[in-house]
Amino acid sequence: MKSVPTFDLETQIGGCIAGVDEVGRGPLAGPVMAAAVILNPDDIPEGLNDSKQLSHKARAALAIEIEARAIFGVGSASVAEIDEINILRASHLAMCRAVASLSQRPDHVLVDGNFLPRGLNIAATPVIKGDTRSLSIAAASIVAKTRRDALMVDLAQQHPGYGWETNMGYPSKSHKAALQDLGVTPHHRRSFKPVHNILYQEK
């Protein structure tokens, strides 16, 4: 049985708590994006869960609810930043930017994963599989996923043929085949092996 996120961690810590999660570490194209969400304990949208457990329709509906009823911030790190500092550090940079963009400074941050980003400058706790344990992190995962998916759909219109509107930049079979056939775009991560290998082949 899959665990369902609760508000227990937030209640135990007390004060104003932000949940933070990122999406887009694995794709070959597009930025890595993070969201930070401060839920109102008296007005938590029903049905919050890890974004990966939700259908596209449910996720989109919940994102609207979260953005209307909670305090949220979004941050990203560009493809250039990913290639320059590596994907882990870039994802942490996106998380810091998401927290910094909140209209209210939280007392404590719950971060999905087992590492805390450098530069948060706020008390924080890493939560392994946090999107299945904390409602605040689950909400952040939903906002980050829907925002990044929307961006990739837009980029797919500018660069047709790679299937970004469905694979969201992840290394699907058709995406890798398109890389071979169509070449590398400015939105591809050159530090990622499948992209690097194609650039190397061309030389």
In this structure, CATH architecture of domain 8-145? 2-Layer Sandwich (3.30)
pLDDT digit string (tens) for 152-167? 999 999 999 999 999 9
The whole-angstrom separation of Cα 170 and Cα 149 is 11
What residues in the chain have per-residue pLDDT under 50? 203
Residues 6+ apart with CB under 8 A from 4: 49, 132
Q: How far is CA 28 from CA 41, 44, 196, in A?
A: 37, 34, 10
Q: How far is CA 127 from CA 31, 114, 116, 133, in A?
A: 23, 6, 9, 8
Model pLDDT, residue 41: 96
Comparing C-alpha atoms, which of 59, 37, 41 is closest to residue 50?
59
Model pLDDT, residue 203: 46
Model pLDDT, residue 70: 98
The whole-angstrom separation of Cα 1 and Cα 30 is 34
Residue 150 backbone dihedrals phi, psi, to 5 degrees = -60, -40
Model pLDDT, residue 52: 86
